[in-house]
Amino acid sequence: MSKRSQAVETIQRELIEFARRARGVSARSHPGLSLVAYTLLTHVERHEQTRAADLAEHYVLDKSTVSRQLAELADRGLLERVADPRNHRSRVLRVTAKGRRHLDVAREQAVGAMADRLTDWPDADLARFASYLERYNSA
Amino acid sequence: MSKRSQAVETIQRELIEFARRARGVSARSHPGLSLVAYTLLTHVERHEQTRAADLAEHYVLDKSTVSRQLAELADRGLLERVADPRNHRSRVLRVTAKGRRHLDVAREQAVGAMADRLTDWPDADLARFASYLERYNSA
DNA sequence: ACAACGAGTTGTACTCTACAACCATCTGGC
DNA sequence: GCCAGATGGTTGTAGAGTACAACTCGTTGT
């Protein structure tokens, strides 16, 4: 097997490995905001004018799943569904101030835990790792 | 915020982003072998003498969850639980020939899909990305 | 104006998961 | 040797996340 396909296989395996552990770690570290909810909320925060259907497509989830997750987030006051005057079928999503606070706390914890694992990484490696991940995800 | 903590935050966000999509993508691409089952089987293949408790610890899962997943894998003939003569409490796990075939097929699909996303990456970047992921996961 | 489409919600069922209770086996101190 | 506590695993039960199907309501195109 070529060096290249070995690298691809390693990337595949290690990413899956991470994904598999992330759920459990996240459930333990911030109970009360599931990984799904956290991710959806983060996405809405970062992307203006997101609608439920966009989330479903992006995260490969059924629209019913997204609908219920958003309903829960809205119930808890972390997110608003704003009627779009131009299109009465859909509603545009927006994180509330309360939601933003929750996200800040969760993010701080998550980033803190991650920073611990990365303490002995040189700055240059961190920057490159970050850019690789962005590049991979945006493909 | 420093460049360094920006990088850490990006890494955190992008890894979670990946994890969140992995489940759905995997469920669609290889139905019949869940992401959990696939990961456990891969782990057993790569690590001799793995026991159920090791998997539970490694993947941050309850031992009951692992027990059921393994029971299913064993039922389907993909994995064996071999009695350990030295310790009658535990059983050592081993992938069967059938299990190996399943893994090969699943891996080939997964790696193929991933290779498509990575076609325009230079070899050096792939190698570095792979090594970063290994380094991160082994921490 | 009506049919097709798009966005979202709700009913239902299944899987993954945790927690608790349990059984069997091993280990260390006495 | 023997018992208490630890370790490995299974089973009962319940809850969260998810998909699929059927539905409503609004929009678009012919």
Residue B32 is predicted with a pLDDT of 73
Report pLDDT digits (tens) over A100-133: 999 999 998 888 889 999 999 999 999 999 999 9
B26 plus B81 within the same structural domain:
no
Q: How many folded domains does chain B comprise? A: 2
Domain that holds residue B16: 1-31
For the beta carbon of residue A22, count every other beta carbon within 10 angstroms. Answer: 18
B10 plus B40 within the same structural domain:
no
A123 plus A103 within the same structural domain:
yes
CA-CA distance, A78 to A101, in Å (whole number)? 9
Query: pLDDT-based confidence at A30, cuts 50/70/90?
Result: confident
B113 plus B49 within the same structural domain:
yes
- pLDDT over 70 (residue A60): yes
Facing residue for A14 by CB, picked from B12, B58, B133:
B133
Which of B54, B114, B119, B125 to probe the A interface (max A CBs under 10 A)?
Answer: B114
Taking CB atoms and an 8 Å cutoff, what residues of chain B touch A55?
none
B25 plus B37 within the same structural domain:
no
Query: pLDDT-based confidence at A86, cuts 50/70/90?
Result: confident
Query: pLDDT-based confidence at A26, cuts 50/70/90?
Result: confident
A100 plus A75 within the same structural domain:
yes
For helices B3-29 and A97-117, what crossing angle results, to 10°?
A: 100
State the burial class of residue B62 (Cβ atoms within 10 Å of its Cβ: 0-12, 13-18, 19+).
Answer: exposed
CA-CA distance, B139 to B134, in Å (whole number)? 9
The CA-based angle B71-B109-B45, given to 5 degrees, is: 40
B102 plus B114 within the same structural domain:
yes
Beta bridge partners of B82: B92
CA-CA distance, B49 to B46, in Å (whole number)? 10
Q: For residue A63, which nucleotide's C1' is closest to its Cα?
A: C8
Residue B25 is predicted with a pLDDT of 87
CA-CA distance, B54 to A52, in Å (whole number)? 39
Contact at CB, B22 and A13, closer than 8 angstroms: no
Ranges of beta strands (E only) in B52-90 are 79-83
Contact at CB, B7 and A39, closer than 8 angstroms: no
Query: Could you give phi then psi for residue A94, rounded to 5 degrees?
Result: -150, 135
For the beta carbon of residue A105, count every other beta carbon within 10 angstroms. Answer: 12
A105 plus A66 within the same structural domain:
yes
CATH code of the domain covering residue B44: 1.10.10.10
Calculate how close chain A gets to B85, using CA atoms only, in Å: 31
CA-CA distance, B8 to A107, in Å (whole number)? 11
Calculate how close chain A gets to B63, using CA atoms only, in Å: 13
Which of B3, B6, B14, B62 to probe the A interface (max A CBs under 10 A)?
Answer: B14
B13 plus B41 within the same structural domain:
no
- pLDDT over 80 (residue A32): no
Residue B20 is predicted with a pLDDT of 95
pTM (predicted TM-score): 0.91
Contact at CB, B59 and A139, closer than 8 angstroms: no
Query: Could you give phi then psi for residue A122, rounded to 5 degrees?
Result: -65, 150
Residue B30 is predicted with a pLDDT of 75
CA B62 to C1' D13, in angstroms, rounded, equals 15
Please give chain B's pLDDT, 139 residues, in tens: 788 999 999 999 999 999 999 988 888 877 678 889 999 999 999 999 999 999 999 999 999 999 999 999 999 999 999 998 889 999 999 999 999 999 999 988 888 889 999 999 999 999 999 999 999 999 8
Consecutive H or E run containing A66: helix A63-75
B89 plus B22 within the same structural domain:
no
Query: pLDDT-based confidence at A31, cuts 50/70/90?
Result: low
Contact at CB, B10 and A130, closer than 8 angstroms: yes
**Which DSSP symbol is given to B44?**
H
A76 plus A129 within the same structural domain:
yes
**Is the alpha carbon torsion for B5, B8, B12, B14 positive or negative?**
positive
Contact at CB, B60 and A21, closer than 8 angstroms: yes
B10 plus B65 within the same structural domain:
no
Beta bridge partners of A80: A94
